[in-house]
Structure 1
Amino acid sequence: MKVDHISMSAYIDDFSMITIVVCNPFSIIPSLSLVDDKKVLQPLTIDKQEHYHNQVIYKCRTRTPIDLKNRYWVTYNDTKIPLMIGSIVRTEKFDSLYYDDSSLGANYTPESTTFKVWSPVAFAMILKYKTKHSNTFVEQNMSRSERGVWQATLDGNHHLTEYMFVVNVNHEWIETTDPYSRSITANGVHSVVIHLPETDPDGWNRSEKKINLRSKTDSIIYEVHIRDLTIHSDSGVLNKGKYLGLTEQGTKTSNGFHTGLEYIKSLGVTHVQLLPVADFGSVDETRPDSAYNWGYDPVHFFSPEGSYATNPYDPICRIKELKTLIQTLQHNGLSIILDVVYNHVYKREESSLEKLVPGYYFRYDDGGNPVNGTGVGNDTASERKMMRKFILDALTFWMSEYKVDGFRFDLMGIHDVETMKQAAEKLKSLNPGVFLLGEGWDLNTNLEPERKASLSSAKKMPSYSFFNDAFRDHVKGSIFPKGQSGFINGNNDERIKHQMSHVMKGYAGQHDKFIKAEQSINYTECHDNHTLFDLLYIRHPFEDEVMRRKRQQLALAITIFAQGVPFIHAGQECFRTKKGEENSYNLPDTINAFDWNLVEFFHKEVDYFKHLIGIRKSQPIFRDNSVELLEWNVPDGCLGFKYHLPITDIKDGASYWSKALLLFNQTTKPIIIPLEQHRWMIAIEDERYDNVVLNEDSYRLEPLSFSLLYSV
């Protein structure tokens, strides 16, 4: 029989459906068969023909169901085509048949270590390992369970044994690390078995259960990048850019100003939110000074990043030093929130998840192409059972092993509501006061809108707080320089003024109101986009710098005293600049380093920031859910808000305020504010703070300033 020379590929798309893709249609209806390793043939019947992007697709039916423990080929005349894994892994039946709640990864005991890895589509699996006493790898076959978990057990103590999985998928052998690697070698070349108690710093109590009793509205979050905060030449830190750098006590600049840990403690913030510390792929751990990254390019989700460790070659070091950092911050009264990235991976094709079960862990469009709501080429599929398990396993591991206090979810709107609800339930069972927050942006991913964990789903997710983009945009304006300006820029549009009342009440602006104000993360600056100082320079290029700083101080006061949770980007209090760069995720230290000389130069402004925080923390009127917030009648160019805490809700102590009046002047001229017949005290006036009695029936509000009046 003559063989047509035709490019053809074949995929398993269901348990009885084979998809054949060719560049040109068959000239005649071909004779197609399915053959397995045992050379058992069964004919294929073409159900339908489709055209997609210059390709022809034939949907074929099998007579008996596909068994994923076998390898198959499609025969076309005398041609034999390997049958590849297709969209079968994204069917409900696949999830139902192969979901397994096993304890995956390297399960260590001093007597033996059992390795478990999930891959129902693998034809064979080999454990490749090397002990710490050997220079060569040896191999051991792994056995497969009915639900696709491959397992092998090594007798003896295998602490620090390096290992890989060699897997036969899609008719080829490939090597991969363990997606559940608790630690890794430098740059994640190999997974490493770890006896985790060996990684504990002195005083680390493994049996202690971390419980946070602080309410969300009693919290003030300070966002920090490990490298940024200590890498500056005048940080006074020995371990610059490392986990240990933030554990050093008493560090100062050459002029004697506190830096690092001492500085953060002095601010009065309650939570330190660390940009990603799980292993990421863009920085060579053996040459950490050769590149920079924020870390939103995850590779190994259970292992700490090695470029922040003093010895990336030591698999214990990265764990122990991160634990030391967490322990030190907590011993100094600070709670720890980890920024976690489960919405995408660094490189999908190189991910261990993709190698082990191609096409399962990610979302695809109808044409079989990865969707890109994240903007980095791949979106994970949290709604699939084993991806959901992966996320929950990772979260519970970080909480139980590292004793962190909360998680910030990058691009949380990519995930599904059910996964996030299950995560909250599990984490709260470990720590009832765990702080959960995330980016609820509605991104273009292949998931029904009502299932997305976005801002519009806030009522379904009461355990989560959301970054409030309405707050951000109404206060400072659009994150894009050519977009609409905000209140602090002098925008006196009535719509802005109207929305500002919602902003102060912890609403989500154009979205449905949150169930409670604590769901609103109030911020005007974070690691993304321009710093506020740089954005104000772009928007007001001809304005005196002093005036721009006053605008920034207005934003700071609104952020701290609005109902909800204040969120501060490290350096916002001292006018941090990234030299005009909008997106500094991979730019050098010259752009990203926290400049401790700015803290010195603006020490008065930093003290003002501390004072604002002190007032918020000491006065229930800014944190109590029963507080009434009313708009104050003020002239154009101003905003005024009266906070009232009912007498019955005032805690014991005469120093607590029953009323507070917040006044904001967005203009460059002083404005007279009418006051009611009431005895007011001035707490804050144009960045000065002193308790001064005000007996007038009006109040002069200085240009571009904030004033805070109160009454007991």
Structure 2
Amino acid sequence: MSQAKAHWLTPSIIVWPGAAVTDRYALVHAAEGGITSGREGISGGTSVGLQVESAGLADDLKARHPHLANATALRLPAELSAKAPELLKGQLVMARFDVTGRLLDSTALQTAGVLDALYAGAAQAQVLGAAIQGGVPTFRLWAPTARSVELLVFDAPSGGSPDIRPMHQDAASGTWSVVGDAAMTNRQYYLYRVKVYVRSTGKVETNVVTDPYSLGLSANSERSMVVDLESALSQPAGWSAHAIPSLAGIEDISLYELHVRDFSASDFSVPVADRGKFLAFSHASSAGMRHLKTLAAAGLTHVHLLPVNDLSSIQELPALQQLPAISLADAADSENQQAAVAAVADRDAYNWGYDPLHYTVPEGSYASDPNGLARIRELRSAIVALHNAGLRVVLDVVYNHTPASGQDGKSVLDRIVPGYYHRLSANGSVETSSCCANTATENIMMAKLMIDSTKVWAAQYKVDGFRFDLMGHQPLSVMQQLQREVNQAAGRDIYIYGEGWNFGEVQNNARFKQASQQNLAGTGIGSFSDRLRDAVRGGGPFDGGDALIRNQGFVNGLCFAPNDGFACDAVRRTAALHQQDLIRLGLAGNLRDFTLQDHSGNSRRGATFDYNGVPAGYTQRPQEQIAYISAHDNQTLFDISQYKHDRSVSSAERARAQAVGLSLIAFSQGIPFFHAGDELLRSKSLERDSYNAGDWFNRIDWTYQANNWGVGLPSKERNGDNWSIMKPLLADTTLAVKAADITFTCERFLDWLKIRRSSSLFRLASLEQVQSRVSFPDVLANRTPGVIVMRLDGRNLSGSQYKAIYVVFNASTSAVTSSLGGGIGNLTLHPTQQSSSDPIVRTATYSAERQIVVVPARTTAVFVETDA
């Protein structure tokens, strides 16, 4: 009975996977708990027999619960199903007997299905949380299985005795509510005291919890705050009047992924009090803001902020935070730095923030004061500052898991409706494939929480997009519903994208049709393309040992600059050419129905190219591809290439290679995505998982003087298997970059942004446009590892500016002569490159007579065809 293997799906139907239809069944219930089972049978509670449904589960229930389609279905007597609301407030056990009455098995029940069937229809329409109308808050908490709920009201963020107000339950929705007073708004704090039966403890518990729908909090999330987001008190100066930068179309988006602390914690041009805070974005003349404005002026459109909602892992009170004691004298490969960081890792101010505690409240550690309204005003100030700099704002959101479940102190949802909000395994334990306690957005009220939360961010915080962590763990239908409702709430199109990975208990649509890569075609929802990423970088994100070095990619040497004696044999040459097929497909938006030549000259659809055993092409529209080669996860582009470049490659050549890699993303159809600092050769000193590695390993230098390489050997816990490889690399002084290399890469990145913005050919909106305008001339003639030639046809296209554009990506170590296929008129370097600060690209030439271009080593050259 410690497990929950049976599922109560509707008031009249329970299913038990794996149970025999020839056995006999009973539902045992006890209001206060106390049911036990043993050799002698079931003791305690009241037992009622159930009938086996010979026809099995009904088709509609099979469709809603596909993983239960073959389970034995059992029907409750009508008088028992009528008592379902009452029964669900106590202990429930299913018992299975043989024909002689001997107990064969017993189990608790999973009840999310019946809770949805009973209550979700009415509860979906309700505004939950502390909703303000006419200045007066009404508190609503969905807790259908609770015995009682009380509202505890406090005058301060901590301490003091509460004013206790009973709440009353609506039978139709299962929601408890009470009307408050106008004096509470923007001033008082509150908690809920919920009395509820908990399966994991086997008894009725009294839980004091914050509000899952909180809009404000006290420090360290101890109490919810009554907040009116429409009030001037919660808004910074200029909030209502400020303008959101215009955007002509989704395909015009370019994304820049940035962490709030990374942005300013190490920026000495920001006042000390504001470093690492939301308010850092309000300092328009800081080095970081000057950099962002330079990127925006060149063509960047969106800043993607890693999670800014309330997190469970960061101490919000600055006085209680601890910073590592690090000596600048420690060697580049020393273990001292990471030891100092690890000693305070859970007490400093740093974490990526993929551990959401409350979904719809700004994180308090990023505010000047974690109590009160400061965190709300200051996040809004950051959004105003970014909008005023010409940049839209994307929030990284993590609705796929919570940091804890059950009776844990950091478990909010499960202490209100036990067993409902989290996805449960076959035996009733909480699934953790996402790293933590997975939420179950296939359950209607968890989906409502996610949708309601994003609507608040879009409408009340004026954010312009959402990036969903592990989006493949969400039902596609829910993500499409969210897309519609968020757009309606915001009154404009909000771009949605995320990680469409296919794994875990939901893999291959086991529980619902997932919002995964292969299923998103045609939805307009974007997903990250690992195909292009791996082909450019080489290998995969989880490589270790020799594979880190051996698995080179397009920009770091496969078959043109082999490292450590890995010569270019036939196998590696074929691998290099296949990589280039995947890159060409990525340049064309990774469209499943786009037709292109492979490296053998065969014409094929994108979906027929292989990527680790699955179709490489999976999008239907360009905007569904997020083209990237680096993100907060795994090594930065610079660090991964430090493994893969031959040691003899100079820092200047490494910078040129990085610039070529960034150009592949900038010139891809779809949505380009850049990790902050990649344009500055950003390093994390080889740390592959810097989520809790502090400011030290995550630093960005906006003055372009250093890239954070060689600041110590990273965490042994996360990188220990590779220490023998990492240590000599970090100790090699020849692998450090110069300030000139950083400046060079940054200037090339600005060139790529300007070139992308200069022509709509880089921002096509449909498969038909891409098919008719994107091609790769003379693939067989240009079958050279490290070289790709792309042609964009601009005839009769609004905003194209040119008859055609030819882009030659030469990642190789030699100048290349590339055939353009013939029939070309007047061809010159793109104006941006004609005036480029890179003297090498200016030596790229075109021969009209031979219809070829000559492009220097490790250079991306863009040629334009005009009528002149």
C-alpha distance after superposition, 1:188-232 (max 9, x if no partner): 0000001221211112228x9969543122121111101101111
TM value normalised by structure 2: 0.72
Counterpart residue type for residue 457 of structure 1: N
C-alpha distance after superposition, 1:127-165 (max 9, x if no partner): 111135994212111100012100111234212211000
477-486 vs 321-330, greater mean Cα deviation: 477-486
C-alpha separation between the residues in 1 aligned to 2:239 and 2:245?
15
8 A Cα contact 1:682 1:710, kept in partner:
yes
Out of 327, 335, 339, the position equivalent to 2:384 is: 327
Counterpart residue type for residue 162 of structure 2: F
Distance 1:61 1:26, change over 3 A: farther
Give runs of aligned pairs for residues 537-552 of structure 1, distance below 5 A: 537-540=642-645, 542-544=647-649, 545-552=651-658
8 A Cα contact 1:183 1:316, kept in partner:
yes
- The structural deviation recorded for 1:237 is 4.7
Q: Percent identity?
A: 27
C-alpha separation between the residues in 2 aligned to 1:620 and 1:445?
42
C-alpha separation between the residues in 2 aligned to 1:22 and 1:169?
15
C-alpha separation between the residues in 2 aligned to 1:642 and 1:141?
68
Distance 1:541 1:358, change over 3 A: farther
The question of 1:585 aligning with 2:620 is answered no
8 A Cα contact 1:455 1:511, kept in partner:
no
C-alpha separation between the residues in 2 aligned to 1:323 and 1:380?
28
The question of 1:144 aligning with 2:152 is answered no
C-alpha distance after superposition, 1:297-347 (max 9, x if no partner): 00111100011101112x200000000111111122111111111111111
The question of 1:525 aligning with 2:525 is answered no
The question of 1:707 aligning with 2:865 is answered no
The question of 1:361 aligning with 2:377 is answered no
Distance 1:519 1:101, change over 3 A: same
* SS of aligned partner of 1:487: coil
C-alpha separation between the residues in 2 aligned to 1:670 and 1:22?
80
Distance 1:692 1:121, change over 3 A: same
Question: Which residue is 1:275 aligned to?
Answer: 306
Distance 1:102 1:210, change over 3 A: farther
Question: Which residue is 2:268 aligned to?
Answer: 234
565-574 vs 549-558, greater mean Cα deviation: 549-558
> C-alpha root-mean-square deviation of aligned residues, in Å?
3.3
Q: How many residues align?
A: 671
* SS of aligned partner of 2:697: helix
Counterpart residue type for residue 494 of structure 1: L
8 A Cα contact 1:466 1:520, kept in partner:
yes
- The structural deviation recorded for 1:665 is 2.4
The question of 1:473 aligning with 2:534 is answered yes
Question: Which residue is 2:459 aligned to?
Answer: 400
Distance 1:643 1:19, change over 3 A: farther
Question: Which residue is 1:157 aligned to?
Answer: 183
Distance 1:389 1:10, change over 3 A: closer
8 A Cα contact 2:245 2:387, kept in partner:
no
C-alpha separation between the residues in 2 aligned to 1:437 and 1:32?
51
The question of 1:346 aligning with 2:387 is answered no
Question: Which residue is 1:87 aligned to?
Answer: 110
C-alpha separation between the residues in 2 aligned to 1:95 and 1:73?
19
C-alpha separation between the residues in 2 aligned to 1:665 and 1:651?
27
The question of 1:309 aligning with 2:367 is answered yes
- The structural deviation recorded for 1:691 is 10
Question: Which residue is 2:577 aligned to?
Answer: 494
C-alpha distance after superposition, 1:522-558 (max 9, x if no partner): 1101111000111011123523233332322211111
* SS of aligned partner of 1:272: strand
- The structural deviation recorded for 1:561 is 0.8
C-alpha separation between the residues in 1 aligned to 2:578 and 2:633?
26
Counterpart residue type for residue 143 of structure 1: H
C-alpha separation between the residues in 2 aligned to 1:156 and 1:417?
40
- The structural deviation recorded for 1:502 is 0.9
C-alpha distance after superposition, 1:469-510 (max 9, x if no partner): 111111212223426432223334332222222121011663
* SS of aligned partner of 2:266: coil
Question: Which residue is 1:126 aligned to?
Answer: 150
8 A Cα contact 1:33 1:44, kept in partner:
no
322-331 vs 508-517, greater mean Cα deviation: 508-517
Question: Which residue is 2:661 aligned to?
Answer: 555
Question: Which residue is 1:669 aligned to?
Answer: 814
The question of 1:564 aligning with 2:670 is answered yes
525-534 vs 614-623, greater mean Cα deviation: 614-623
C-alpha separation between the residues in 1 aligned to 2:746 and 2:676?
12
8 A Cα contact 2:258 2:675, kept in partner:
yes
8 A Cα contact 2:759 2:799, kept in partner:
no
C-alpha distance after superposition, 1:437-488 (max 9, x if no partner): 1111112134735610000112252x21111111111121222342643222
C-alpha separation between the residues in 1 aligned to 2:402 and 2:661?
35
8 A Cα contact 1:458 1:464, kept in partner:
yes
Question: Which residue is 2:250 aligned to?
Answer: 216
8 A Cα contact 2:36 2:42, kept in partner:
no
- The structural deviation recorded for 1:352 is 1.7
* SS of aligned partner of 1:68: helix
Counterpart residue type for residue 619 of structure 1: S
C-alpha separation between the residues in 2 aligned to 1:691 and 1:265?
29
- The structural deviation recorded for 1:604 is 3.0
Q: Which runs of 5+ in 1 are unaligned?
A: 1-6, 35-42, 49-58, 77-82
259-268 vs 423-432, greater mean Cα deviation: 259-268
Counterpart residue type for residue 557 of structure 2: G
327-336 vs 316-325, greater mean Cα deviation: 327-336
C-alpha separation between the residues in 1 aligned to 2:843 and 2:123?
63
- The structural deviation recorded for 1:123 is 0.6
192-201 vs 566-575, greater mean Cα deviation: 192-201
Question: Which residue is 1:54 aligned to?
Answer: none
Distance 1:363 1:522, change over 3 A: same
143-152 vs 624-633, greater mean Cα deviation: 624-633
8 A Cα contact 1:561 1:622, kept in partner:
yes
Out of 706, 721, 745, the position equivalent to 1:605 is: 745
The question of 1:680 aligning with 2:815 is answered no
Give runs of aligned pairs for residues 625-640 of structure 1, distance below 5 A: 625=765, 626=769, 628-633=773-778, 634-640=782-788
C-alpha separation between the residues in 2 aligned to 1:69 and 1:645?
68
8 A Cα contact 1:523 1:567, kept in partner:
yes
C-alpha separation between the residues in 2 aligned to 1:108 and 1:572?
44
C-alpha separation between the residues in 1 aligned to 2:693 and 2:427?
36
Q: Which runs of 5+ in 2 are unaligned?
A: 15-26, 53-73, 95-105, 198-203, 324-347, 559-572, 592-605, 607-614, 707-738
C-alpha separation between the residues in 2 aligned to 1:8 and 1:293?
35
Question: Which residue is 1:39 aligned to?
Answer: none
Out of 642, 645, 649, the position equivalent to 2:797 is: 649
Counterpart residue type for residue 556 of structure 2: N
